[in-house]
Structure 1
Amino acid sequence: MSGVVLNGHGGLDKLAYRDDLPVPTPGDNEVVIKVGASAINNTDINTRIGWYSKQVTSQTNNGALDGFDASVDDDASWAGSALSFPLIQGADCCGIIVAVGGNVDESRIGERVIIRSMQQVGDAADHLCRTFGSEVNGGFAEYAKADAVEAFTVKSELTDSELASFPCAYSTAENMIERANVKATDTVMITGASGGVGSAAIQLAKRRGARVIAICSQSKREQVLALGADEVIARDQDVVKVLGEESVDVVIDLVAGGQWGSLLTVLRRGGRYAVAGAIAGPMVELDVRTLYLKDLTFFGCTYQQREVFENLVSYIERGEIKPLVSKQYPLSEIKTAQQAFMAKQYTGKLVLIP
């Protein structure tokens, strides 16, 4: 089969499109999917360049094209351990089940499915997980293998490209919103609001009836408003000056970086802060007095309970959320697609077709 393999941590040169890869064979409790579409996420870039390593302290884009100089191999995965190469990436995957392994009902052959990106490992209490396309091979190929329990049937008239835009970004956003217990009475501020997770978070917060303030580049203002945001603040503006102190109930943060302290300033007393990304840089300065004197609650959001993805599938099937596909690329043009992704000139998702 054809597919893209990652041959190590580094720049775009570490990605290789090949047409001689073996088609995966399902083991017990596994299925093989003929991939209809996959999509690009920050995690694909972060994994390729080794950004998850604690040795890397700068923003993603500093190493997105050429990688980082630091040696990151030992702890450059979500789990903080070394990855095995070559690796087929791709956290997003939509397709049709074409083969099943032992203990899987053959009636599942022909089901149209999406794969849960963040998959539980062990007991829920341990908060351990693995990422499809990181700790195991993912969707950047003609065929992909997955645990049968992680392949969720979706009954929808949406295209494969549209369905492939949901799994990683929307489950990440829904997990953050669920953990922060967003309610209809809340005002929610979302950073990085024009990206995949940010645009998903707008829809999912509005689905709960919350008021949404979105932060993004000024050029994407109208697109973000069209998604449902009630107010848009340009990312180079001072949110404290625009909104005033203690003006929002929840912050959904995907950016971190230099402006991080201002996010806590605009949180009301008793406010909630949820984070699942740090594309502007992972190192921030915290005045601990702000945390405890304002009785703030922080949520780091990686592990997802199964019901998060189950709920996401139900939203899709009921038409309560909509896909936002910005552009499609052939899988063979993944390097071009990743360059477009890193340029941040789009709103929503970039999709790859095998």
Structure 2
Amino acid sequence: MQAVVTTGTGGYDKLVYKTVAIPRPSRGEVLLRVLAAGVNNTELNTRLGWYSASVKTGTDAAADPTSTAPENGGWNAATPFPLIQGTDCCGEVVEVGEGADPTLIGRRVLVRACMRPNGFGSMDNVWMGSDFDGAFAQFVKVPAGEVFPVDCGWSDAELATIPCAYGTAENMVHRAGIAEGMRVLVPGASGGVGSATVQLARRRGAEVIGISGTAKHDLVRTIGADRMLDRGDDLLQQLGAESIDVVIDNVAGPGFATMLKLLKRGGIYVSSGAIAGPLVELDMRVFYLKNLTLLGCTAWDEPVFPNLVSYIERGEIRPLLDRTYPLDRIAEAQQAFLEKRHTGKIVLIPAR
């Protein structure tokens, strides 16, 4: 099969499109023909070594071709290079290993990318495409319990927008207890996770305020934002201190301190990323005197992915697909991703 093999940390030269062996499913596994695979921050961050503790800057600075990538920096340990990345997968089951359900063969499925190998009572988690080979290939094998058949009229590329971004967003919305009447602020509302968060928070009846570049305001409103603000706005002036119930923020960086000031007493700050920078200024007095809760969200809770499939099948959410590229043009797709002119997801399509 053809696959993109990431050979180590560094630039686009580390993405090698080549012929590799088709994996064979072991007991309890299934083999998928990859129909479409989304592009995410995590693939770029892993290739650039951004998860290393030695990196202090945002993801844009890490992508600077003049910067030197750290040798490690995976999610749970040093990344097991060479690695086939690809966290998002829409695929067709073509083979099952011993003990797996044979009726899955021929079904179109989504893969739950965040897997809990020790059960949902443990926060231990592994990620497809970061801890083991993923979907930037014509075929991928995964545990049978991590595939979810989906019956809907969406295209393969539209379904591939869902797993990582919507799984991450639904996990944050779920863990924060978003409910009707809450006021939720979403920085980075036009990105993959941000736009998913807007839809999923609005679906639960929250008032959603998004932050993005002005050019993207109208589109984000169409998917559920009640109000849009620009990245350069004075948020305290526009919204007022202690006016927000929950901030769902994958931006972080210099704006973090303002987010805590915007939260009501007893408010919740939720994050699963830090594209503007991982190091932030935290005034502990604001944190404890306001009785705030800070929630870090990586491991997905058990209801998250089944919930998403049900939302798709009932037509309660819609995909935000910006564009597609053939898999062998992955470098071009990642360059477009870094330019941040897209709204929603960029998706790769393997050759058939």
Q: Deviations over 1:69-107 (max 9, x none)?
A: 26342xx1111x112121000000001100010101222
For 2:123, the equivalent position in structure 1 comes to 127
TM-score normalized with structure 1 length: 0.97
- Indicate the larger mover: 328-337 or 218-227: 218-227
Structure 2 gaps of 5+ residues are none
- The question of whether the paired residues in 2 share the 8 Å contact of 1:35 and 1:141 is answered with yes
For 1:349, the equivalent position in structure 2 comes to 345
For 1:152, the equivalent position in structure 2 comes to 148
Q: Identity rate of aligned residues, in percent?
A: 49
SS of the aligned residue for 1:47 comes to helix
Matched, 1:15 2:12: no
- The question of whether the paired residues in 1 share the 8 Å contact of 2:120 and 2:302 is answered with no
Give the drift of 1:131: 0.8
- Equivalenced residue count is 350
Q: Distance in 1 between matches of 2:166 and 2:225?
A: 16
Q: Distance in 1 between matches of 2:117 and 2:97?
A: 20
- Please show how residues 131-210 of structure 1 align to structure 2 within 5 Å: 131-210=127-206
- Indicate the larger mover: 114-123 or 187-196: 114-123
- Indicate the larger mover: 145-154 or 105-114: 105-114
SS of the aligned residue for 2:83 comes to coil
Q: Deviations over 1:149-181 (max 9, x none)?
A: 001111111110000000000010000011111
For 2:74, the equivalent position in structure 1 comes to 77
Cα gap change, 1:275 to 1:299, in 2 (>3 Å): same
Matched, 1:45 2:44: yes
- The question of whether the paired residues in 2 share the 8 Å contact of 1:173 and 1:201 is answered with yes
Cα gap change, 1:315 to 1:12, in 2 (>3 Å): same
Matched, 1:333 2:316: no
Q: Which amino acid aligns with 1:35?
A: V
Q: Distance in 1 between matches of 2:164 and 2:115?
A: 11
SS of the aligned residue for 2:121 comes to helix
Q: CA RMSD in A?
A: 1.1
Q: Which amino acid aligns with 2:230?
A: A
Q: Which amino acid aligns with 2:335?
A: Q
- The question of whether the paired residues in 1 share the 8 Å contact of 2:48 and 2:70 is answered with no
Cα gap change, 1:70 to 1:162, in 2 (>3 Å): closer
- The question of whether the paired residues in 1 share the 8 Å contact of 2:185 and 2:209 is answered with yes
For 2:86, the equivalent position in structure 1 comes to 90
- Please show how residues 282-297 of structure 1 align to structure 2 within 5 Å: 282-297=278-293
Give the drift of 1:123: 3.5
Q: Distance in 2 between matches of 1:40 and 1:6?
A: 14
For 1:31, the equivalent position in structure 2 comes to 30
Q: Deviations over 1:51-85 (max 9, x none)?
A: 11111110001122538426342xx1111x11212
SS of the aligned residue for 1:125 comes to coil
Q: Distance in 2 between matches of 1:185 and 1:285?
A: 30
- The question of whether the paired residues in 1 share the 8 Å contact of 2:9 and 2:70 is answered with no
- The question of whether the paired residues in 1 share the 8 Å contact of 2:9 and 2:69 is answered with no
Q: Distance in 2 between matches of 1:107 and 1:124?
A: 26
Q: Distance in 2 between matches of 1:337 and 1:261?
A: 33
Matched, 1:262 2:258: yes
Q: Distance in 1 between matches of 2:80 and 2:69?
A: 18
SS of the aligned residue for 1:126 comes to coil
SS of the aligned residue for 2:303 comes to helix
- The question of whether the paired residues in 1 share the 8 Å contact of 2:10 and 2:69 is answered with no
For 1:232, the equivalent position in structure 2 comes to 228
Give the drift of 1:122: 1.1
Matched, 1:271 2:270: no
- The question of whether the paired residues in 1 share the 8 Å contact of 2:48 and 2:69 is answered with no
Runs of 4+ that moved beyond 2 A: 65-72, 123-126
SS of the aligned residue for 1:3 comes to strand
- The question of whether the paired residues in 1 share the 8 Å contact of 2:49 and 2:69 is answered with no
Q: Distance in 1 between matches of 2:192 and 2:270?
A: 16
**Aligned equivalent of 1:323, options 316, 319, 324:** 319
- The question of whether the paired residues in 2 share the 8 Å contact of 1:91 and 1:131 is answered with yes
Q: Distance in 2 between matches of 1:141 and 1:196?
A: 22
Q: Which amino acid aligns with 1:131?
A: W
Q: Which amino acid aligns with 1:159?
A: S
- The question of whether the paired residues in 2 share the 8 Å contact of 1:49 and 1:68 is answered with no
Matched, 1:314 2:303: no
TM-score normalized with structure 2 length: 0.98
